[in-house]
Amino acid sequence: MDMIKRPRRLRSGEALRKMVRETRVSPSALIYPAFVVEGEGRREEIPSMPGQYHYSVDKLLYKAEEMLSAGVDKMMLFGVPGHKDACGSGAWAEDGVVQRAMRALKERFPELYLVGDVCMCEYTSHGHCGILAGHEVDNDKTLDYLCRIALSQVEAGADMVAPSDMMDGRVGAIRSALDRAGRSNTPIMSYAAKYASAFYGPFRDAAGSAPAFGDRKSYQMDWHNSREAVKEALADVEEGADIVMVKPAMAYGDIIARVKAATNVPVAAYSVSGEYAMVKTCGRLGLGDETALMCEIAAGAFRAGADIYLTYFARELAEAMARGLIG
């Protein structure tokens, strides 16, 4: 058969396939989310997220060393406090669990890049991401508290803050607060398109952050919508976001692509706890190769346009990259 164009030519060998690969990834694009708890000597597996743990500050140092050895030099911290109250005061306390962890990590590993998740749901007794007015979250009143959280994290050692609350105007409020405090060089990675997703279940178990009543659909996004994601991302960039995030990742490749096309800042994708748990379950039940699934899902996010990838598989992905399984 006389064919001039044969696409299979470029798939004929491993070296050639890697040379013409369109999507390339690096450990430098990975951020590992970690859960920090009170106490000492604690490294306790999270039942809904096999292979992930609650770490006390002293044990988190060992995890950070493990991540750095694998080539992952960025971590995001989520706190699981011993005490919760209506206004989530532990989120901005000088001796809060995240603040103590950041100071310890920076002292031991100054090269580690720390991202602070700015939210209240893990710290409030009601499990919502802001200050309540009756049974509704008061958007504008919440902004002041988010600014307090961001400032406390930066003072403790955070290199970047990432507001995940989905309050209107929070990026602009935090940017102004940081600038007034002389922190104009601290970047903001905004959870710009954070959907009210069923994929968050294991995280809420891990962080003890499930709402005590109602849901978060009045502030997190409706997963039927895509134009709204672009609107949210553009608004956050206008308010001063340096990076915008899409969350979750796996079922939202179209959103990643649309946000990437509409903005001129780096785009992050958060592969959330439910995605992680699905891969682990498939592997455990023999329904798929865990490493191959992990790599394919990650490549899908990067292929859609993600520049940064937050994942509980950060170490395993970095190791897979070193073995040439992805990237």
In this prediction, residue 33 carries a pLDDT of 98
Cis ω on the peptide bond leading into residue 47 (within 30° of 0)? no
In this prediction, residue 218 carries a pLDDT of 87
Distance of CA 180 to the CA centre of its chain: 26
DSSP state of 2: -
What whole-number distance in Å separates Cα of residue 81 and Cα of residue 249? 27
Q: Which pTM value belongs to this model?
A: 0.95
Catalytic annotation, pick one of 59, 74, 194, 260: 194
Q: Cβ(245)–Cβ(162) under 8 Å?
A: yes
Phi/psi at 42 (5° precision): -105, 125
Any bridge partners for residue 193, and if so which? 246
Supply 171's token pair: 């990026």
pLDDT tens per residue across all 327 residues of the chain: 788 888 998 999 988 898 888 898 999 999 999 999 999 999 999 999 999 999 999 999 999 999 999 999 999 999 999 889 988 999 999 999 999 999 999 999 999 999 999 999 989 989 888 899 898 999 999 999 999 999 999 999 999 999 999 999 999 999 999 999 999 999 999 999 999 999 998 988 887 778 878 788 889 999 999 999 999 999 999 999 999 999 999 999 999 999 999 999 999 999 999 999 999 999 999 999 999 999 999 999 999 999 999 999 999 999 999 999 998
Pairing, β 53-56 against β 30-37: parallel
Amino acid present at 231? K
- In order, the DSSP letters of 46-107 are -TTSTT-EEEEHHHHHHHHHHHHHTT--EEEEEEE-S--BTT-GGGT-TT-HHHHHHHHHHH
What whole-number distance in Å separates Cα of residue 1 and Cα of residue 234? 52
> pLDDT per residue over 25-84, tens digit each?
999 999 999 999 999 999 999 999 999 999 999 999 999 999 999 999 999 999 999 889
What whole-number distance in Å separates Cα of residue 71 and Cα of residue 134? 47
In this prediction, residue 203 carries a pLDDT of 87
What whole-number distance in Å separates Cα of residue 45 and Cα of residue 206? 9
Extract the runs of DSSP E, i.e. beta strands, from 105-239: 113-118, 132-133, 136-137, 160-163, 189-194
116 closest CA partner among 148, 157, 57: 157
Residue 320 DSSP SS3: helix
Q: State yes or no: is 141 an active-site residue.
A: no
Q: State yes or no: is 217 an active-site residue.
A: no
Any bridge partners for residue 221, and if so which? 195
249 closest CA partner among 322, 188, 317, 325: 317
Catalytic annotation, pick one of 84, 247, 260, 280: 247
What whole-number distance in Å separates Cα of residue 114 and Cα of residue 301? 22
Q: Cβ(251)–Cβ(196) under 8 Å?
A: no
Residue 321 backbone zone (phi > 0: left; psi -120 to 50: alpha; other: beta): alpha
Polymer length in residues for the chain? 327
204 closest CA partner among 118, 78, 115, 294: 78
Q: Cβ(190)–Cβ(254) under 8 Å?
A: no
In this prediction, residue 208 carries a pLDDT of 76
